[in-house]
Amino acid sequence: MNQFAQALGSKFAEQKEAIRTRSFEFAGHTFKVKLPLTSEFELIQKNMDIVDESIINKYYQELSKELIENKDKAKEDSEIEYTDNDIIIKGKSLKDAAKNKALTEKRITTLFKFLVPEEQGFDMNTITYEMIEELFPFSIQLELIGLIGDTISPNYKETRGK
């Protein structure tokens, strides 16, 4: 504990985690969110855009499987272009789509880890995207990460109370 924390007193030290916790309600359930320190948030932001290349390749294989299997039929389609390491559909890279899918899943998982579990002792660092996907449809995931993000970093309008 630094000097500033000591100056705020022992009661502050006891309540430090509660002070860093905010909540929001969604569909009748109250979700609690642990607010990260600035240094923690900056590190998380930096790491959120880093995805393991093997995950990107796995998604690329899934996305491209049918197109590769039907390559001869697809050659007739002028909107599909096969390169040495990618498939371009209507000018869009399938490899980029795989990377975007992996990044989106990582961002969702990272933000969900800010939720405070009601069950004592549960480690939120153990959750995976598959666990999230099993509970929530994609549209709900997007709503929840928006609410988590707003709770962590409220926008100007909310802080001004307008």
d(CA 114, CA 146): 12
- Structure tokens, 23: 């909540």
Amino acid at 14: E
- Give me the torsion for CA of 33, 38, 43, 44, rounded to 10°: 20
DSSP tag of 83:
-
Give the pLDDT confidence of 37-88 residue by residue, as tens digits: 888 888 888 888 889 999 999 999 999 998 888 777 766 667 888 888 998 8
What average pLDDT does the segment 135-159 reach? 85
Pairing of strands 29-34, 21-26: antiparallel
Residue bearing the bigger pLDDT, 137 or 90: 137
**The pTM is what?**
0.82
- Structure tokens, 13: 């030290």
Query: Taking the CA of residue 15 as centre, how many other CA atoms within 13 Å lie in the half-sphere pointing to its CB?
Result: 6
pLDDT of residue 156: 47
Give the pLDDT confidence of 6-29 residue by residue, as tens digits: 788 777 777 877 888 999 999 999
Instruction: Tell me how far CA of residue 154 lies from CA of 22, 106, 148, 149, 158, in angstroms.
Output: 11, 22, 10, 7, 6
Residue 100 has pLDDT above 60, yes or no: yes
